[in-house]
Amino acid sequence: MGNEKFISEYILLIIFAVFVCAASLFFVLLKLKIKKIERQSKIKEMTDYETGIGNLSYFEHHFCNTISDYSRHLYYIAYIIVDGNYIQLYHGEEVFSDVVKNTASVLMSAVTPNEFAARISETGFAFAFREMNDEDAQRRFGALLDELEAYINDDSKPVFYASVYNLGKDDINSKVLLFNLRRNCNKIFGSDKHIILCDSGSIHTALEQKRMKDSVIRGLANREFKLFLQFIVDNKTKEIISAEALSRWVHPEYGILPPGKYIATMESAGLISSLDYYMFEEICKLLQEWSNSDFSHISLSCNFTRITLSEENFVDKIIEIAAKYNFVRDRLVIEITEDAIEKNRKRAMNNVNECKKLGFRIALDDLGSGYTSLANLCDYPIDIVKIDRDILLKTDTLRGKALFEGVIALSHSLNLKVVCEGVETNEHHKLVSATRCDYLQGWYYSKPIPSKEGEEFIRQYEKKQKLLTGI
């Protein structure tokens, strides 16, 4: 009996041991299976589904884990942009898709051990490669870019553009680096130039632009941009009849900043429309405040860049904003600025025509400079023309004076009112007052002032005019 009991216990022990081993093996296999699934999932997450090449996450992962501090100086990072709009317009969407896939294939074939490439965006790729010097890097990458161009074989213009940068010891943030490379690449986008080699200075400049962009976004959110007014007077009576609304950034650190300090950043960052609509609403508010006051006769003009005027939903936004405020619509003048060309000229023209139908008046700013041409007088339903200050400054010559008076005569022949900008001195005042110009604007009459000081300025100005005229 004792032996039988021992044998029975021994068998049970064996069975238990087998069970434990099997369970352990099962959990080990399960753990391996989970790790494999997680690894496959991570790989999938870091893969561009359309091309099979790595995506932005893949690039960031390898930038941190493949590039060591010791080897950093050997790496060159290339940011490549494909001109997708051009390809789709002239070759079609299918060809664009083929070009993108071929780009991924060429880059994957080009990478050697410890190098990597990825698709960063719909039209953007990044390639991290190693070379001993700039000359070798440019030769190798130039050949690769030529191979990419050869696929589409379009001799009319390049469709690939790239910025290339040799990493420095402090270049450890891939997000900042890619942003800076993209900004530098945009400088040559659409030109005949294929590649731009970036140095630490250009990268630093792009970084400063990014900081400025972030600061502008915060400024808009915190309503740091304020409405300033520069008043416009009637040439005959010298009475204030309107004002141009101007933006000023009341920066918490740097104080009041003029548009020259932030407009270019806003345009390049795609934020200029936000400022245009922001200022439009501020003007609507002020017109409502003045609608039942002694200032109800004064018009306000709001600047709109041609970028904003080209937007598809421009009119809808204008209607939405203006509907919140009660004021006579022709007291608001939409002023077309000359600082940027239209992204869509036909749409811009249609949008301005719709604004005219809504009751707003239309002014053409800076006639005689930039993108403002005489053809605009026919293209847009203009009510008011503003003569650029540069033309006024040329009136010290006979030709310049003839040009100035000719622009006024031409505008009047088209039934347009004329504003002369840049009247800053007593000589300017006397000269322009003797012409048939309708309205005058400049520091001689009014410097740009905060809108909250506008009412008091008007009172003091009118008081001064009464003393001068003896009325």
Asked if the model's pLDDT at residue 263 lies above 60, the reply is yes
User: Which comes out higher in pLDDT, residue 198 or 398?
Assistant: 398
Give me the percent of the chain exceeding a pLDDT of 90.
53
CATH number for the domain harbouring residue 389: 3.20.20.450
Q: What pLDDT was estimated at residue 6?
A: 59
Please tell me whether residues 305 and 426 are part of one structural domain.
Answer: yes
Asked if the model's pLDDT at residue 340 lies above 60, the reply is no
Please tell me whether residues 253 and 181 are part of one structural domain.
Answer: no
Q: What is the dihedral of CA 405, 410, 413, 416, to 10 degrees?
A: -90
Please tell me whether residues 397 and 351 are part of one structural domain.
Answer: yes
Q: Which has the closest alpha carbon to 309: 321, 301, 317?
A: 317
Asked if the model's pLDDT at residue 294 lies above 80, the reply is yes
Specify the residue for token string 């390639």: 127
The answer to whether position 155 is within a domain reads: yes
Q: What pLDDT was estimated at residue 389?
A: 85
Q: Which has the closest alpha carbon to 163: 210, 211, 203?
A: 203
Q: What pLDDT was estimated at residue 30?
A: 62
Q: What pLDDT was estimated at residue 319?
A: 96
Please tell me whether residues 189 and 105 are part of one structural domain.
Answer: yes
3-state secondary structure the chain: CHHHHHHHHHHHHHHHHHHHHHHHHHHHHHHHHHHHHHHHHHHHHCECCCCCCECHHHHHHHHHHCCCCCCHHHEEEEEEEECHHHHHHHCCHHHHHHHHHHHHHHHHHHCCCCCEEEECCCCEEEEEEECCCHHHHHHHHHHHHHHHHHHHCCCCCCCEEEEEEECCCCCCCHHHHHHHHHHHHHCCCCCCCCEEEECHHHHHHHHHHHHHHHHHHHHHHCCCEEEEEEEEEECCCCCEEEEEEEEEEEECCCEEECHHHCHHHHHHHCCHHHHHHHHHHHHHHHHHHHCCCCCCCCEEEEEECHHHHCCCCHHHHHHHHHCCCCCCHHHEEEEECCCCCCCCHHHHHHHHHHHHHCCCEEEEEEECCCCCCCCHHHHCCCCEEEECHHHHHHHHCHHHHHHHHHHHHHHHHCCCEEEECCCCCHHHHHHHHCCCCCEEECCCCCCCEEHHHHHHHHHHHHHHHHHHHCC
Average pLDDT over residues 340-345: 63
Say if pTM beats, i.e. exceeds, 0.85. no
Average pLDDT over residues 235-249: 94
Asked if the model's pLDDT at residue 375 lies above 60, the reply is yes
Q: What pLDDT was estimated at residue 470?
A: 61
pLDDT category, 369, cuts 50, 70, 90?
Answer: low
Q: What pLDDT was estimated at residue 2?
A: 56
Q: What pLDDT was estimated at residue 90?
A: 83
Please say which residue of 198, 219, 252 terminates a domain.
198
Please tell me whether residues 336 and 403 are part of one structural domain.
Answer: yes
pLDDT in tens, 94-149: 999 999 999 999 999 999 999 999 999 888 999 999 999 989 998 999 999 999 99
The answer to whether position 35 is within a domain reads: no
Average pLDDT over residues 56-70: 92
Q: What pLDDT was estimated at residue 78?
A: 94
CATH number for the domain harbouring residue 170: 3.30.70.270
Give me the percent of the chain exceeding a pLDDT of 70.
88
Please tell me which of 184-188, 265-269, 327-331 the model is most confident about, judged by mean pLDDT: 327-331
Please tell me whether residues 164 and 251 are part of one structural domain.
Answer: no
Domain containing 356 equals 211-469
pLDDT category, 173, cuts 50, 70, 90?
Answer: confident
Please say which residue of 198, 229, 257 terminates a domain.
198
Q: What pLDDT was estimated at residue 196?
A: 84
How, if at all, do strands 240-251 and 449-450 pair?
unpaired
- Indicate if the alpha-carbon torsion angle 82, 86, 91, 96 is positive or negative: positive
Please tell me whether residues 228 and 88 are part of one structural domain.
Answer: no
Please say which residue of 171, 198, 225 terminates a domain.
198
Query: How many structural domains are present in the chain?
Result: 2
The answer to whether position 289 is within a domain reads: yes
Q: What pLDDT was estimated at residue 25?
A: 72
Q: Which of 209-213, 395-399, 461-465 has the lowest mean pLDDT?
A: 209-213
Neighbours of 66 (CB within 10 A): 14
Asked if the model's pLDDT at residue 48 lies above 60, the reply is yes
pLDDT category, 318, cuts 50, 70, 90?
Answer: very high
pLDDT category, 43, cuts 50, 70, 90?
Answer: low
Q: Which of 25-39, 65-79, 223-237 has the lowest mean pLDDT?
A: 25-39
pLDDT in tens, 431-471: 999 999 999 999 999 999 999 999 999 999 988 887 776 65
Asked if the model's pLDDT at residue 38 lies above 60, the reply is no
Asked if the model's pLDDT at residue 344 lies above 70, the reply is yes
Q: What is the residue-averaged pLDDT of the chain?
A: 86
Q: How far apart are CA 310 and CA 337, in angstroms?
A: 13
